[in-house]
Each structure stands twice: as structure tokens, then as C-alpha cells.
Structure 1
């Protein structure tokens, strides 16, 4: 049995269950059939086998993908063949994006040029638009609506289950953070009906770097307390709207737009994390075909100072499928790329490294890292120091 504190809310158990009896109540996995008992599962352990919560399965997946595991120098980035600085060339995608639209442009390329018929991306709940919810996108132009980072947990991979049952010939690309990618790679290695489907039909995995995600209550608090907006009046929510690095943008049913500075939201989010997110050992899984991070190493500082700069992302190409997607995006004028220097601080990565080291030394249960037995030696900087408020704002 998985320690509930290590659940990533990825939704892989819902997707993998051959009986289809796993669902979610909020962020908690539940049985959807009251009469179902553990005895009905017999010898099946698909839900535990696919789960990345305690064991993300990184070394085995790296052996399958790259023929080797990562070295200590590759601890936080993983194995890759090339990294470039890129941004979308479509002006709508670029302006809508959080950091240049590289990820959206790559998913559009998959639909335009690589015969992908559906993309799994994080969207919004239809009834409560401030909540995150998975979206199956069929039209490449609609991917703009799921652009930008979504700093909120929501069950995700279970949204693919209808495709397995109703559209088994679909060709799927997906965007997902580390735990989503790890779960999908575990599923693709399983000799089950759903595993074989995932291996044959999920053809492109693209991941944004992830410092951590937030419970829905974190977003709700920003909306209510920072913006002064009732949740039931929200009709649209964006996390990184406008000039880089963007603001939290909330539209209400009276047509009014409300903004919260990004750095304030980051500080508010810090108190609404799960144990699994805080103890996570991965900024990127390193198992996606392509990984993308912000090009600016410190978006928090940029939000505090109001420093303006062109949007761009760092695009890490890892597999042949990833290289084909990037080449197609370049060829068809959807993505630009330039050389990139990886030197320098990245705030999200540094927060992740320090939190992970703190949890490793705490004695609390933590998920396995990508290198078995490896623990990074560093002098831990508390998270609140990385996201300290400007002095004149401390009492607000």
C-alpha cells in the first residue's frame, strides 16, 4: 500500500486500473464502486506498479530510453543530446505564453506535422474555472487556451482513459510535469492492455520544469484574499499573463479583470504544498522526449523588480522523437532556437535542491531520487529566503 503522503495526484492509477474502479475525490484516489473490495483485485497490482509516488522508476526508464543511467553531474537535468533557447514564432502563441511558447509550439507541431490527433494538457474545470483540470485538445489552435504554467494539482492521466476505450487508434502527445512523465514511462513498460496502448499510441512527451505544484486551496486563497474576488464569480484564470514574467490574471463574470503580482502569489502558494511535492527529487524527470524550462533564471526577482525581458525558454532535446518534433517545428516556422548557456542560478531548481536535501535529512518518507543512494551535499538555504518579500512589503 502506498503511503498516502507520497501520492503525486498524477492519476496514473485511474488510467491503469483494468477494472476502471479508481477515481478521485478532489486530490484523493478513491474506489468508484462501493461494493469493490481488495479481494476483487485478486493478483492485480497495476495501480501500484504504475505509481511514481514512492518509486518514480527513473533508472529503469533511462536504460530503456538512453541505454544508460544519468551520472551525478546530470543529477538534476538528466540525459539530453542538445539544449537551445527557443520561443514560438506565432505571435498569438508567443504573447499568450508564460515564457515564449516553446512547449505550445511543439505540441502544435505534433498535431500539424506528426499526425497526433489529441493532446493531453492542463486546462480548467468547466464548472469552476479557477480549478485546474485536464483537457484533451483536438484542434492545434485550441492549445493556446492551455498555454502558460498551471501551478495547481489536479488528477491528470485518467483523462486518457476514454481514448483507450473509445478511440484506441488515437495518436497522443502530452504535456506533463515530472511525476506525469515518470508514470507514463512506467505504464509504457507494463505488459497490460493499457500499457501496450500507451507504448504504441502516446508518441510524444513534453515536460515543463517543475519546482512544485500547489493544492487548489492555494489558488483559491490568492483569488479571495489577494484579489478580493469571490470564487463563484471567476470565469477565467491565467497564472502568467502579460509581459514577462506575467501576473495572476482573474476575469470575473461582470467582465472585470483583476491582477495579482506573480511574486506575491508564489509566496502565498508556499503554504499550500503537499509533502510529496515538497520532498520530490526531480525538477525535470529527464524521461520526456523534450523538456522546457524558463529561460530567465529567476522569475521571482523579475516579478519583484518589474524587469522586462523577451520571453524565451530553454529546450532540452532528449530522444529521437524529441529531435524530430523540434526539427519539424523549426522547418515549418513554428519555433526559433539559439545557443544557450546553462551556467547560472535557476531559482526553481535551487529551491527544489534545497527542499529535497532538507527532506532527505529529516527522516520522513521521501520518494526515490533518480540516482539510487545519491544524496547531494549542500548547505541548506531555507525556502523562505529564496522567495523573501521586498523589505517595504514585509508587513503587507
Structure 2
């Protein structure tokens, strides 16, 4: 959508706290499934996808956690045994591990009865359990990994979580033998193990040769035409330092503005912001490792409605000069798309019917979310 532009603050991890037995009328998760295509597209954009494994009391990991590329989050008790309600099991293309989700003592959560904003007297506390609450714990662990190593890829994160997971204790499975005793867990029957946040973070700290980090300042709302400075001096090389970095700025959205310093850490937006929303991509390259990384920052003028703004069609071509010189960058409006194949245009009536059916076949035990 050219009126949206490049998201300057894209998600690094997506959490989906829902599960169902089947996607629409089928079983499993086919490669051309609508959700599977969306997950593949997210991973192609360097985003991890965590999904609740499901609350089917020892059954196989449910949809869409069984789609390729996901991290399926099941639930475990404080002693490491699987919660009686949780799904489990291995599969092709996704990682299953179990995070806290106590079904006995439950957890205390906070809520507010406001629908669009908090009610001043609408706060309440409640008890809950379920893989819906185990999944955000895994997503939170991934956010810590990205804080330690912002350049981590989803595949690297999968490996960190898998290799650092604590082994299941003896008799951890929620399946039982003929005399009612719990069975042992195996990587096939249960998953890779129990979520180990500290172990994963420590492993991330010692990874070698990561990508550099393009550390741009936070997107901002501005009140004038310019000038403005976008400072990326806190960008780091692959080793975490500031040496041997090269910088390259480019306007990727909005009406063209006058720029200077496009090859330095500080971009000068000299003018052109009145009635405009502009986005600027910074690519930093570590000259030692020859590895690069990119981030985007947005400036929005106070006089513009961000939801309805459409860039001028006069863009395209244009030049910008680096160093201390001045110049004009005139990009065409950018609409990005990658991966996912033929997903566009499908989510119409079929998509709505699919969502209705998804909720209709949702299996859930009483008291478990």
C-alpha cells in the first residue's frame, strides 16, 4: 500500500495465541496454506513467529503451530512435567518446546474492561492457564535475544532456543502407560525441551561474526519544513564496536526532500518536510567482514494525516550527494512485497469464511485458554 510506506519500526517477533485441530477442512498445514505463506513471508523479512501448540491434552501440535517455520509453544508445570492439557510432539519444519503454563496453581493476570482505552475503574486480576500464555513467554525470550544480538535471523533464533533448551525430566509426558504412570519425553514425542531463557541469552552473547547494527534514532513527528538531523552514530560493527563502518542513506518513501550527508552517520534533512511524510533507510556496512544491515526511520509533519497521506507521483530518479554537499532525493513511492507467492487478494470472502470456521472448530478445555 503506497500510502503506508516502509514500516520504520517493524516487528521482530509475532505471537499467535490460538490453535485449532484443522485448517478449514484439511489436516496439518500445507505449504500453500494461506497462513503458511504468511509465516514464510514473515521469516523472509527476518521475523520469528511463535504459536500456541494447543490445548488438546497430549495430542499433536495443532494448526497453525504445525506450519513450517513456526516455534510451537507448549506448556509445562514448575517441575518440568508437561501440563495435562498441552499439545506436544515434533514435526517437519517447526520447533516445539514447552514454557511455563501451570495448570494447577494457575497464573495471575491483569486486565481492563475498556474497549478502546482503559477504564479508570475497570482494572481487574484473574487466574489463567493454557498454551496461549506459554507462547508469549517464548516471544518475550526472543525479544531478549534480539536485544543482545539485533541482527539474529529466525533460523539462528530457532537454533539458540533448541540448543539451549533444558531436557525434560523423567516421566514428564502427559501420556501414561497401562498403569497410569507418566511416560518419558523424547524429542519426537514431546519436543526439544523446556524453554531456557538465560541459557539462550548467554549463547547469543558469544556468537561470532554477527551482522552489524544500523542504529537509527526513533521515528518522530516534526513541526517545520526543516532542517533535521538523523543521527546513527550508535551503529555498531559485527564485533559490537564503532570502527570500520560505512554509511549509506536513501529516501525510500514520501515526497522528495533535500538531503546532505548521505554517506555519513548523520543525515541532514535540509528541507521538504512541510506537509510531508518521509522515510529514510540507513545501510551500514562493516568493512572488515563486508556484512551489511539496514534500518528505516520515519519523519511525519504535524500537518499530515498519516492514515490518508499519499506521496506525490512526481517522484522517481533524482540524486543525493554525500558528505557535506547538498542535493535532492526524489524516490518514487515504495510498496514492498517479498515471499508468500500468491497470497495477495485471497483474503476476501474466503478468508472471512476461513476465520469463522477456524473459531468454530477451536477445541478448548474449560478454564484453559
TM-score range, shorter chain: under 0.3
Which TM-score applies when normalising by structure 1? 0.21
User: Over alpha carbons, which structure has the higher Rg?
Assistant: 2
Q: Which has the higher strand share?
A: 2
Bigger helix fraction: 1
